[in-house]
Amino acid sequence: MLRFSKKHNYQGLLICVEGIDGSGKTTQLELLYSWLKSKGLDVILTQWNSSELISNTTKKAKKKNLLSGRTFSLLHAVDFADRLERTIKPALKAGFIVLADRYVYTAFARDVARDVDPQWVRNMYGFAIKPDMTFYFDVSPKKSLERICSNRQPKFYEAGMDMKLSNNPYKSYVLFQNRIVEQYNEMVEEYDLIKVDALESIHSKQKFIRQKVVELLAQHKIKIEV
């Protein structure tokens, strides 16, 4: 974990958002992306579990419900390593602002919620680059479920059905996501995550995020106005 605990020396900046599904983090990151682009800054978006190398394998395994906690963890670690080397690092070296929709904290939260050893997971991601800033969107599992169900049903692994917490997918979702939220709350202090109230309006959340990002950019001699 030594490398992950140190600040990187790349010219660019790495800004991440974290939180359970339905927290609104993706919407906020897309708004931030558009705003930074409008300011003439070089910026890219990257998403969790999106590597072309491994994402299809993960999807197939999910469909067949074949993933154990450790298998889940290993597949996502391979996916992350590929994106880190192919997308994140080159962009940071080129001076881009990289906006990551989920980062290693997702693995720290989800895998431990699946009873994988916390230190084992953290050691596996020891090669990761430490973000310059990470926002954690705090929302209750019940509110998360309510938002998700307005469009779709919770998915098998999303609901933690593999954990056999309940035969009811909705109850299982709340129980499993509660486990994940507990891990996130412990990481707020451990990794200096900036907590965002997911129940605030879209406008107020974006205003808060932009102000924090402006302060970060100022530290790197990049001046823009909110």
Return the domain boundaries, the chain. Answer: 2-139+192-219
- In angstroms, the CA 182 to CA 144 distance is 15
Q: Which of the four CATH numbers 3.40.50.300, 3.40.50.2300, 3.30.420.10, 3.30.70.890 does domain 2-139+192-219 have?
A: 3.40.50.300
Question: Would you say residue 1 has pLDDT above 60?
Answer: no
Q: Which pLDDT belongs to residue 11?
A: 95
Which pLDDT belongs to residue 57? 63
Interval 70-116: pLDDT, tens? 777 888 898 899 999 999 999 999 999 999 999 999 999 999 999 99
- Please report, rounded to a whole number, the percentage of residues in the chain having pLDDT higher than 90: 77
Q: For 166-223, what is each residue's pLDDT tens digit?
A: 999 999 999 999 999 999 999 999 999 999 999 999 999 999 999 999 999 999 999 8
Which pTM value belongs to this model?
0.91
Looking at residue 171, what is its pLDDT?
97
Residue 73's alpha-carbon distances to 68, 105, 118, 126, 140, in angstroms, are: 9, 12, 11, 14, 24
The tokens for 12 are 């660019």
